[in-house]
Amino acid sequence: QQGMPVAPVVANLGPLEALTLNPNPDEVEEVFTLPLAHLLREENQGYTHFRTASGYGYTLPVFLNGPHKVWGLTAIVTELTLELLVPGRY
C-alpha cells in the first residue's frame, strides 16, 4: 500500500539468543538476523534496477548472501540505517 507511514526503530535488544519473538503470522513469515559485518561487506551489497511501463527507471538497494535476499522497503531502511550507524564505511 502506498502512502503508508513507516517508523523504523533501532534498538539494542541484548543477546539475540535470549530473545523470544512472537511475530504476527499474518504479517511476518520468518524472522532472521544478519550481522552488521555481513551487511558492510561489499560482496553482500547490490542494487536492483527497475523500469516501469512508462519508461521511468529507478534503482533500489539489495543485500545478498544471507538466508534470504533483503530487498524492497526493508533494504531501503537497512541502507539508510547503515548510513547513519557507520558513515564512511557504507
Question: Which pLDDT tens digit goes with each residue over 43-52?
Answer: 999 999 989 8
Question: Which pLDDT tens digit goes with each residue over 51-89?
Answer: 989 989 999 999 999 999 999 999 999 999 999 999 988
| DSSP string over 1-31 | -TT----------S-GGG------TTT-S--
What confidence score (pLDDT) does residue 14 get? Answer: 85
Whole-model pTM: value is: 0.80
Query: Could you tell me which of 13, 26, 69 has the C-alpha nearest to residue 45?
Result: 69
C-alpha cell at 79: 541502507
